[in-house]
Chains A and B, each alone.
Chain A
Amino acid sequence: MRARLLTVGRAIAFVALALVLCGAIFEAAGFSAPDMFSAIIDGAFLSDGALVHDLRWACPLFVSATGVVIAFRCGYFNVGTQGQFYLGGIGAAVAVAALRGVPDVLVMVAAIILGIVFGALWAFWPGWLRIRSGTDEVITTLMGNFIAGLLLVWVTSGPLKDPSGSGQVTASRPVPIGVRISTDTGVSPIIIGLTVAVGVLVWVLVNRTAFGVLGGLAGRNPVMVTWQGARLSRLGLGAFMLSGGTAGLAGAMEVLGPDGRLVSGFSPAHGFTAVLIALVANLSVSGSVIVALFFGGLASASLYLPVIAGLPSAAIDMVNAAIALFITSRAWPTRLPWLRARR
């Protein structure tokens, strides 16, 4: 328990350090740091409807972050969350487009499932390459993000193109109202329910199953579990696909929920932020809940800043990046000691 408090305290300290760094940069750029921060806090948590906006961003981020937790705990650096998230969105849009004349509820369920499956498949090939031939998954999953991004451009401007679209942003036809899982606010019982369900399931998986314990051991010392008779290939592929599946679900949630259609290049910072959430939470599922709410707040503040406060939204990117900088410099050597040996 004390050790856990210590890690939480350390995470907070690093976030604080990152904010100090940002403050210095704000000042240097000619903004008042206190004004900037108060505007961010305002936009993230205090203004009207801020908490709803938080949840709108926090829910999909949390869902993806749980997948990152699974993969990273098992020692696989699946940083392809963004790509798997896009594939999930594509999967959902494909299901919606393909199932015309089918009852809305069934389309909804099919779209969610296809999103999960597409996300999982987009994590399958880097996982397979990693396990069969040791191909570095950081490279493959990262490259996969770009391929997925281009695939999304093609899908939205080709097969799923909305012919009545404006031409400024390519997108699919709108998802029928009955199939949507939320309105444009992005907060609905279905979305909250899905998020809570994923949180509970992943928590159980990580903390209360043989897979969780063995995956944790394998992440820290794959040699040891091999001598215990574990098949790393199975464990690893499982971790990759579960991780991709959650990201795919998050993508489907975006398309069926707040976005209401598949838009080219939607939520471009989603994957990066999800990885960040998992790392700040020290790969803990329960910790990710709080951290996801925090980053959800930052995401909603980035929309608030330019509109209400007339400040640049890039400030949020900077806060994110600074936190990433401090958290990764902290997390990699301690949490993942084998990394040094492997690279």
Chain B
Amino acid sequence: MGATDPGARVEAGALACDGLTIRFGDFTALADVTLSLAPNRIHAVCGQNGAGKTSFARACAGLIAPAAGRITIGGKTLAAGHVAAARAAGVELVHQSFALPPSFTIAEAMEFGLTGRMGALYTRGGLQKRWASHLQALGVEAKPSARIRDLPVETQQAVEIARALAGQARILILDEPTAVLAPGAAEALFARLRRLRDSGVTILIILHKIREVLAVADTVTVLRGGRLVEGPEEASGVTADRLARSIIGAAPAAIARQDEDLGALVGAALPHGTRQGHAAPAKMVAAVAGVSTRAGADGQSLAGVDLTVGAGEILGIAGVEGNGQRPLVEALAGLVPLAGGSVSLDGSDVTGLSLAERRRRGLRIIPFERNTEGLSLSSPLWENFAARELLGRSALSLIDPGALRREAEAAFKTWDVRFGSVDNPARSLSGGNAQKVILAREIDAEARLIVLAQPTRGLDLGATAFVWHAMREARGRGLGLILISSDLDELFDISDRVVVLQGGRVAGRFAPPYDLAAVGAAMVGGSH
């Protein structure tokens, strides 16, 4: 592998894909994407979370086999789903989270990182000498003898990039490289990428901050909901405003949607809630006052968030994912210690109370992850359904499994769940039906506040409409609802008010009619 000197990358290849479709089970992550990227340029691919960006990158790097379509590198079709094939074609992916072994020195990581060279004896000095010039040429300012874990994150990233370029990489794919960087470090990264481009590398960079896209990209491609919205377009001809619009998606169709249409879609299983012009609610159901949390494992935190939800009100929480949505739900649930502030339910302070106690007072949660947090997939359906009720009893209280099975059956029928038997594991249900099981469990007569975290993600249109319908019906009964969603169409359609979270803070509060541009600006954090 003598290609450590950049001159060996003689011919920079373009990357193209034709009808690229990626599916995970029923979920389509990428649908029929056709595009071609010119060589020696920096191409940005942007979109919200769940838009299909990462799937696209991983397919190009051979990590995912597409369900349909093909990828060509430099005119040659790439064997689908083989990392080795992609690597041989000169494609290297720098992951969102780094893959270098923390205990290795830089030189060791360069030599053994992912190149798969095994078995030969080596000396430390030899390794360090071998890689010193390569690192220097790429402007990595760290000793080859330094350990990966001791490096600052931007240097780790630089080493990761250098590692990717150790072979014959002609196309470098970076998956949200700025997510881990401090703002200043991002500019250094961009400078590095420009130098690479000038030396003949084609760069595909995945970003979701508009500011950064405009700062670094030569062309821009936008994905939304797994589809190609536009691009690749010359970045010089794109404004921040237009980019925000195409990333977030316009919502005019959603605003026109009526309950009657939804009723037809759902089959009118439940009485309709009524949507009036929103008046200030008579009674508060929940209040979050000045709540702050420390950064969790995912780096998210809240900083002084104030929210209120009234009876018969749906409060929408908008925001680019990872801006405090999860800590907000955890703070409401009492599953994360607060660094400050208070949470109250129905006027009484519940800040110090456990989730069990909060649930007793009417808190209900439809968590982010349906299949891990919402359901136990390998447990029978009736146990999944009974869990909430059983937690309200003392542990040693006797139960009648027959009666619990019948209760679950009856509830599932009311909620139109398609299931075989309540003894079947939850795994046997489709996504929409699984969500209905959770709704059936969480929206009961004693519920007061329902927190729904991405309740329609991955659901088809019918199931989505069902969830919306259930929310409207709950609102009609005077419950308070908090809807966290990354789908602005959904939020605008159903929310009585929308609050934007950005960087763990409330970045804007909006009432209908919603101004898409203003909400979008608040979400992306002052790109306007």
Contact = CB atoms under 8 A, between A and B. Distances in A.
B401 A207 contact: yes
B8 interface: no
Interface stretch (A23-31, A49-57, A208-216, A273-281): A208-216
Interface in B394-449: 394-401, 404, 423
B356 A230 contact: yes
B372 to A, nearest CB: 5
A337 interface: yes
A213 B384 CA distance: 9
Contact of A238 (B373, B387, B388, B395): B395
Contact of A227 (B374, B386, B390, B397): B374
B378 A229 contact: no
Given A207-B401, A221-B378, A221-B379, A228 B395 contact: no
Contacts of A212: 399
B378 A220 contact: yes
A205 B398 CA distance: 8
Interface string A190-229: 0000000000000011011111111011001101111111
Contacts of B399: 208-210, 212-213
Contacts of B404: 213
Contacts of A213: 383, 386-387, 390, 399, 401, 404
Contact of A214 (B335, B372, B390): B390
Interface residues of B, number: 37
B379 A216 contact: yes
Contact of A217 (B333, B335, B379): B379
A303 interface: no
B508 to A, nearest CB: 29
B302 to A, nearest CB: 19
A223 B376 CA distance: 8
A95 interface: no
Interface in B349-398: 354-359, 365, 367, 369, 372-379, 383-384, 386-388, 390-391, 393-398
B452 to A, nearest CB: 13
Between B333, B387, B404, the greatest number of chain A beta carbons within 10 A of the residue's beta carbon is seen for: B387
A224 B396 contact: no
A216 to B, nearest CB: 7
A209 B376 contact: no
A223 to B, nearest CB: 5
B377 A210 contact: no
A235 interface: yes
A10 interface: no
A337 B365 CA distance: 25
Contacts of A221: 372, 375-379
Between A213, A238, A337, the greatest number of chain B beta carbons within 10 A of the residue's beta carbon is seen for: A213
Contact of A229 (B354, B377, B396): B354
B365 A217 contact: no
Interface of A: 3, 204-205, 207-214, 216-217, 220-221, 223-231, 234-235, 238, 337
Given A225-B387, A230-B356, 18 more contacts: A208-B400, A210-B393, A210-B394, A210-B396, A211-B396, A213-B404, A216-B383, A217-B376, A217-B379, A221-B375, A223-B372, A224-B375, A224-B384, A225-B391, A227-B335, A227-B373, A228-B387, A231-B354
Q: Top 9 A-B pairs ranked by shortest CB distance?
A: A221-B376, A229-B356, A229-B355, A211-B395, A210-B390, A224-B376, A229-B359, A227-B373, A228-B387
15 contacts: A209-B398, A210-B397, A212-B399, A214-B387, A223-B369, A224-B387, A225-B387, A227-B335, A227-B367, A227-B374, A228-B359, A228-B388, A229-B355, A235-B395, A238-B395
Interface of B: 333, 335, 354-359, 365, 367, 369, 372-379, 383-384, 386-388, 390-391, 393-401, 404, 423
